[in-house]
Structure 1
Amino acid sequence: MQNKQKGFTLIELMVTIAVLAIIAMMAAPSFGDMLQRQNLNKSTKELVAILSQARAKAALERREITVELLSADTDTEDKLNWMPAGKSSLKSGRTAEIVFMPTGLVKDPLANQIIATDTSFEICDASSDPKYSRMVTISKMGAIQQIVEGDCS
């Protein structure tokens, strides 16, 4: 009587592992891209949220509220801080601080005057690939707009 054993041979197992490794190597770059996009989106949403919060707080409390960019300090009653997450960085912007006035207008604290044009902030990923950038614009009236893609260069 012949005993037939069931199972995989060592060669079949090695071929299966090699095929899985090739498939995993093809998926790894797209997973890295997804993580970069997610990190950039997180930083952009946090910036928009901080700017919106400052504008609303200035109108509600009827006083000037400052948003300090690139600062990891603790928020105070009249100052909110924002720092990009992970490998994201702020590449452009008129100033490192924005002041929201109770009227909704935006003031440049360095010049101590109301900003007459729109102010844009570009958030880029460390990869410096233009497809990994987001633009946030504050209108001269204080409205915050998020443009999906910027042009990091």
Structure 2
Amino acid sequence: MPRGFTLFELVISIAVLSILLMAAGPSFTRLLEDQSVKRFAGEIEGFFIQAKSESVLQNKKLNLFYIDDSVSWIISLNPEGSSVATIAEAKNTSLAFIESLNHPNITMSSSISALTFDPVRATPNLSRSFYFYKDNNKKLKLSVHNITGRIKLCGLEGAFYGYKKC
């Protein structure tokens, strides 16, 4: 009685496995893209929390700058009194930053270019929102409130990536 598999049985098994993997490929790609957006959402939310904490820790007003030069973008946390106009200036003077180079294919936008965090209350001087997405139909919105200092992350037009609808 022979033991093992014949070459024909191995070829058939590999062919069936290949077909199953090809069918799972597109959904796996979508899963990876969704995870990269969720990871970025957590990172940007953490960055805003860090900005609030750092302002209190240093007992100084800190500026958060958002610069978008249509090719790339950056969000940087800079000491009070600093003013930046370019991404290179933001990198050179920042305490911390997040840039599009580390997050390819994520588009970001905001109606403001700067926020100032108060060192006593850990609140920004303005209530503003930042929008980001990889898929234009699944935009996420990060809002900061100037009175409470609350940071809220939600899906703009629906529940996306595990975040509730705004």
TM over 0.5: same fold? yes
After TM superposition, the runs of 4+ consecutive aligned structure 1 residues lying more than 4 A away are none
Q: Which residue of 2 aligns with 1:96?
A: 113
Aligned mates of 2:136, 2:9 — CA distance in 1: 42
User: What TM-score do the two structures reach when normalised by structure 1?
Assistant: 0.72
| % identical equivalent positions | 23
Q: Which residue of 2 aligns with 1:67?
A: 64
Residue 132 of structure 2 aligns with an amino acid whose one-letter code is I
State the Cα distance separating 1:18 from its structure 2 match.
1.1
Q: Which residue of 2 aligns with 1:112?
A: none
Q: Which residue of 1 aligns with 2:45?
A: 48
Q: Which residue of 2 aligns with 1:105?
A: 123
Q: CA RMSD in A?
A: 2.5
Structure 2 residues not aligned, in runs of 5+: 67-72, 75-86, 158-166
Q: Are 1:66 and 1:80, in contact at CA under 8 Å, matched by a contact in 2?
A: no
Greater Rg, structure 1 or structure 2?
1
Aligned mates of 2:92, 2:45 — CA distance in 1: 18
Aligned mates of 1:34, 1:48 — CA distance in 2: 21
Structure 1 residues not aligned, in runs of 5+: 108-114
User: What TM-score do the two structures reach when normalised by structure 2?
Assistant: 0.67
Aligned mates of 1:18, 1:139 — CA distance in 2: 56
Residue 106 of structure 1 aligns with an amino acid whose one-letter code is P
Secondary structure of the 1:120 match is strand
Aligned mates of 1:100, 1:90 — CA distance in 2: 25
Deviations 1:28-61 (A, max 9, x none): 1221112111111121111111111111222333
State the Cα distance separating 1:124 from its structure 2 match.
0.7
